[in-house]
């Protein structure tokens, strides 16, 4: 989860929102939505423990066509676009931190990162898991250290209001808040990643819910602390519209030498994000290859059990996005289409319970405080997506075209591929 969004979004949010309370509420509301989604996904993952995430859930809960479209979205946009954004941000931070020493070609740096990580994840589980674990631990420790240093060394701190002031209520209900939530929701993208590799996890019925809920709760705290530190250290006017928020804050707080070190460190954090996406995304492609003969090559595994073809395919698509797309358009578009997919999946828990009732077996997971989590998540997501559809119709239209092409591809694939039906819902 922790990566591109939290290190880039604040500059765009400040353009329309000048209240520190409302800005922090963005991250809290987005976190609550992600946590409610995680609570719901945990039940789905516990009862439908197969890799593939939304592809698996939607196929079994609704119809294989919806699962296919979700997989199609993952194939064309869902993982490649966020991975590209993370790699582009890595390159931007790296360039900003060392620009006074050496010139860095941002596109070359982003492409090199994707190529190296793709190769590592295509080797074996040990190399793949080891890379991800080490960079995740390093990421959390460095964020905590960064927030602590900023909080204790800033000489001219800015006022950060933790309570609302005049006009904040209007801002909370404005279109600016709703549209900014798409950036925040994007920053929380990844809270559901454990469901994409459920088939490769020991005891997924217990492990996956723990990972989903625990990981999301930790990230909410990290995001609130990090954004509070950004707002505490630098005037909002200096952050407005800027991409490299972390480097700007480090420059103001630690000087040019500190900015060099922290900029390099923050760029390294994004390696973990690129790694996570290139580890989870190919599992969706792999499961599609298992179900649809037309994509069977994506299901092929090497001697270590890694779906190498799917990993390399994901890496290739990511490189294509880096070469052809701009940052903001990819962020809004991918955030919108991923929001639609997760919304349909969260609502699927009601379908699951209607068709099969509640799983009361010992050790099974049931969504806490049901039905509040899926209802809260759905309400926040519908509100956000509606504002985006009205205010950013171009991105919404492109998303609709991608989904339409997905249904067309399903019909063509059904015609030329034999589907291997998988076991259905637990009774």
Q: Show the domain range for 120.
A: 4-416
* Residue 421, domain member (yes or no): no
- Average pLDDT score over residue span 233-260: 82
- Distance from C-alpha of 210 to C-alpha of 207, rounded to nearest angstrom: 5
What percent of the chain lies above the pLDDT cut of 70?
Answer: 89
Top mean-pLDDT range of 24-33, 62-71, 96-105: 24-33
| Whole-number Cα distances in Å, 347 to 40, 244, 303, 382, 414 | 9, 36, 38, 12, 26
Would you say 162 and 232 are in contact if contact means Cβ atoms under 8 Å apart?
Answer: no
Cis omega (within 30 of 0) on the bond before 371?
yes
Of residues 133 and 307, the one with the higher pLDDT is 307
Ramachandran assignment for 163, one of left (phi > 0), alpha (psi -120 to 50 degrees), beta (any other): beta
Within the chain, how many helices (H) and strands (E) appear?
A: 16, 0
Please report the pLDDT score of residue 82 as a whole number. 80
Instruction: Give the closest residue to 343 by CA, choosing from 45, 70, 72.
Output: 70
- Which of the four pLDDT bands, split at 50, 70 and 90, describes residue 225? very high
Instruction: Give the closest residue to 189 by CA, choosing from 372, 2, 397, 14.
Output: 2
Of residues 18 and 305, the one with the higher pLDDT is 18
> What values do phi and psi take at 292, rounded to 5?
-120, 120
Of residues 421 and 162, the one with the higher pLDDT is 162
Instruction: Give the closest residue to 99 by CA, choosing from 307, 266, 263, 343.
Output: 263
Instruction: List, in order, residues 6 or more apart from 327 with CB less than 8 Å away.
Output: 8, 85, 88, 89, 243
* Residue 425, domain member (yes or no): no
Please report the pLDDT score of residue 79 as a whole number. 78
* Residue 40, domain member (yes or no): yes
pLDDT over threshold 50, residue 427: no
Instruction: Give the closest residue to 190 by CA, choosing from 136, 115, 122, 266.
Output: 136
Would you say 177 and 15 are in contact if contact means Cβ atoms under 8 Å apart?
Answer: no
* Residue 423, domain member (yes or no): no
User: Which class for 181: exposed (0-12), middle (13-18), buried (19 or more C-beta within 10 A)?
Assistant: buried
Would you say 352 and 45 are in contact if contact means Cβ atoms under 8 Å apart?
Answer: no
Would you say 318 and 84 are in contact if contact means Cβ atoms under 8 Å apart?
Answer: yes
* Residue 182, domain member (yes or no): yes
Please report the pLDDT score of residue 425 as a whole number. 47
- Average pLDDT score over residue span 77-94: 82
Please report the pLDDT score of residue 127 as a whole number. 58
Half-sphere exposure for 400 (CA within 13 Å, toward CB): 9
Half-sphere exposure for 394 (CA within 13 Å, toward CB): 4
CATH of the domain at 195: 1.20.1740.10
- Distance from C-alpha of 367 to C-alpha of 386, rounded to nearest angstrom: 26
Q: What is the mean pLDDT of the chain?
A: 82
* Residue 427, domain member (yes or no): no
- Which of the four pLDDT bands, split at 50, 70 and 90, describes residue 130? low
- Distance from C-alpha of 231 to C-alpha of 245, rounded to nearest angstrom: 10
Residue with tokens 């099969």: 356
- Distance from C-alpha of 324 to C-alpha of 315, rounded to nearest angstrom: 15
Please report the pLDDT score of residue 64 as a whole number. 87
pLDDT over threshold 70, residue 222: yes
As for how many domains the chain has, the answer is: 1
pLDDT digits (tens, 9 = 90+) for 333-377: 777 888 888 999 999 999 999 988 877 765 667 888 899 999 999
Buried residues in 29-58 as b, exposed as e (16+ CB within 10 A): bbbbbbbbbbbbbbbbbbbbbbbbbbbbbb
Of residues 318 and 270, the one with the higher pLDDT is 318
- Which of the four pLDDT bands, split at 50, 70 and 90, describes residue 279? confident
* Residue 322, domain member (yes or no): yes
* Residue 422, domain member (yes or no): no
Q: Flag whether the pTM goes above 0.75.
A: yes
Please report the pLDDT score of residue 70 as a whole number. 85
- Average pLDDT score over residue span 52-74: 85
- Bridge partners (DSSP) of residue 419 are 292
């Amino acid at each position: 989860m922790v990566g591109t969004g939290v290190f880039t979004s604040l500059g765009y949010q400040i353009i329309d929102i000048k209240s520190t309370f409302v800005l922090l509420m963005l991250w809290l509301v987005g976190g609550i939505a992600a946590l409610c989604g995680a609570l719901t996904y945990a039940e789905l993952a516990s009862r439908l423990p197969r890799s593939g995430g939304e592809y698996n859930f939607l196929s079994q809960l609704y119809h294989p066509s919806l699962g296919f479209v979700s997989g199609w979205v993952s194939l064309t946009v869902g993982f490649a676009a966020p991975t590209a954004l993370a790699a582009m941000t890595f390159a931007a931070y790296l360039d900003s931190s060392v620009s006074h020493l050496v010139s860095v070609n941002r596109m070359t740096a982003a492409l090199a990162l994707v190529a190296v990580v793709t190769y590592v994840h295509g080797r074996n589980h040990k190399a793949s898991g080891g890379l991800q674990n080490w960079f995740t631990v390093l990421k959390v420790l460095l964020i905590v250290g960064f927030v602590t240093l900023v909080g204790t060394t800033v000489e001219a701190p800015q006022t950060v209001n933790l309570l609302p002031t005049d006009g904040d209520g209007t801002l909370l209900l404005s279109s600016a808040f709703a549209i900014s939530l798409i950036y925040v929701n994007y920053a929380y993208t990844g809270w559901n990643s454990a469901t994409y590799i459920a088939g490769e996890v020991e005891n997924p019925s217990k492990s996956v819910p723990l990972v989903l809920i625990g990981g999301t709760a930790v990230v909410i705290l990290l995001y609130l602390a990090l954004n509070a530190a950004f707002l505490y250290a630098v005037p909002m006017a200096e952050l407005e519209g800027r991409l490299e928020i972390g480097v700007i804050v480090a420059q103001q707080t630690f000087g040019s030498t500190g900015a060099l070190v922290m900029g390099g460190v923050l760029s390294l954090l994004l390696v973990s994000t690129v790694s996570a996406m290139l580890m989870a995304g190919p599992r969706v492609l792999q499961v599609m290859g298992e179900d649809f003969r037309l994509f069977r090559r994506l299901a092929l595994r090497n001697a270590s059990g890694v779906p190498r073809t799917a990993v390399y395919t994901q890496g290739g698509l990511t490189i294509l996005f880096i070469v052809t797309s701009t940052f903001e358009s990819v962020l809004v578009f991918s955030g919108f289409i991923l929001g639609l997919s997760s919304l349909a999946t969260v609502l699927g828990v009601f379908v699951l319970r209607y068709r099969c009732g509640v799983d009361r077996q010992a050790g099974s997971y049931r969504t806490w405080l049901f039905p509040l989590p899926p209802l809260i998540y759905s309400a926040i997501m519908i509100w956000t997506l509606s504002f985006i559809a009205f205010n950013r119709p171009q991105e919404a239209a492109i998303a609709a075209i991608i989904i339409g092409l997905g249904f067309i591809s399903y019909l063509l694939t059904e015609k030329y591929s034999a589907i291997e039906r998988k076991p259905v819902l637990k009774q």
